[in-house]
Amino acid sequence: MMYRDVELLPEKTVGDSGTETVDLDVTDPITELVVRLGLTNGAATADQKIPTDIISKIEIVDGGTVYASVTGPEAAGIAFYESGVYPPCWYTDRASNGQNIALPLYFGRYVGDPLRNLDVSKMRNPQIKVTWSKDTLHLTGYVKLYIRARVLTDVPGAASALLVKNVRTFTTAASGDEDTELPTDYPIRRLFVRPYKASELPYQVVSHYKLDCDEGRFIPFDLAAARVNEEVKQTFGRCTIRQLIVGDNATFPDSFLGIAEAAFGSCETGLYIVNCFASGTPYINFHLLSDAGAGGSEVVTEMTCLGYLPHYVYAFPFGLKDDPATWFPAPAYRKVKLRLTQGVASGTCSILVQQDRPL
């Protein structure tokens, strides 16, 4: 078996917003797709307006059937849980500078999995669709899109693929439980939940998680968010995200991690002492002082953050990640219900499942 990279869409300047549809025109099974989006900041500092956030949807479709559907932040978080590293990126606030993110979509238990991959030969009109809309602080006419596939040669297409799809996105309330029925048509390898509201803690937006099968017949988990935090830490380990911010003293930049446990920084000129204090929230207590104690402003600073829950995405794994026999047997139940206890109003909560799905 050998890998082969296929450029499905060579780098192309696209509109400031829109949807690009690209045929998955390959003959070999796909083990990985990469969507790379680049942009250029305008004349003003683009404070943490990163390319990941402007991608509102990435879909794998075949006619009217949607096989996979994620947003940019969801894709980045899920990529970490699948690979153990944050996707390749260059994040910068600096005016007139370029930024980019390369988001991988995986279809097997690992890259090169011969038993789980996307065999597009079984589909009639397979396509990938990417939808985006740049921020006003990004330069007009400079959004670039690139898509490539990593395919397997001398390997027959697998009977199924691991596909991540949005089940539901809803607006949270200040209190109360919100129930969502999960699909029971195919086994579920992992469940992902992204509770997000700017300047709020994800474990307060949703404070409790419960998965109920057939009204109490089987309950895989019934945990407060604090306990889920611990399980995510133990299971997946730390994520590292680096960004170039144009920082001001005594501010609270976003780490893009639901739980930031460590951070460090250095300024470009070396004229300021940089202190980045992480206290387990997404936001870094950022201080920028001269030797004389004067606070700096608009100083180009490299900030690297370490922690958990990239882009506020929670992961709930089922069984052994490489053993399909241990994944959650959703078809064995009539109803599988996810109950989320809400704690903050006007947040956005998305629910996604990774299913072992035949094509």
- Beta carbons within 10 angstroms of residue 22's beta carbon: 17
* Angstrom distance (rounded) from CA 55 to CA 14: 13
Closest CA to 317 of 180, 188, 182, 195: 188
Residues of the chain with pLDDT under 70: none
Q: What tens digit of pLDDT does each residue of 132-142 get?
A: 999 999 999 99
Please tell me the pTM assigned to this model. Answer: 0.97
Contact between 98 and 37 under an 8 Å Cβ cutoff? The reply is no
**What pLDDT is recorded for position 2?**
82
- Looking at domain 167-359, does it have CATH number 2.60.120.730? yes
Cα 260 vs. chain centroid, distance in angstroms?
Answer: 16
Contacts of 25 (CB under 8 A, 6+ apart): 8
Contact between 168 and 298 under an 8 Å Cβ cutoff? The reply is no
Q: What tens digit of pLDDT does each residue of 225-281 get?
A: 999 999 999 999 999 999 999 999 999 999 999 999 999 999 999 899 999 999 999
Q: Dihedrals φ, ψ of 80, to 5°?
A: -65, -45
What is the radius of gyration, based on Cα positions, of the chain? 21
**What pLDDT is recorded for position 169?**
98
Closest CA to 322 of 55, 99, 112, 58: 112
**What pLDDT is recorded for position 13?**
98
Contacts of 316 (CB under 8 A, 6+ apart): 190, 191, 192, 193, 209, 211, 221, 228
* Angstrom distance (rounded) from CA 302 to CA 245: 6
**What pLDDT is recorded for position 319?**
95
Domains of the chain, by residue range, sit at 2-158, 167-359
Identify any residues that bridge with 20 across adjacent strands, giving them in sequence order: 130
* Angstrom distance (rounded) from CA 314 to CA 33: 22
CATH class for the domain made up of 2-158: mainly beta
- Identical fold between 2-158 and 167-359: no
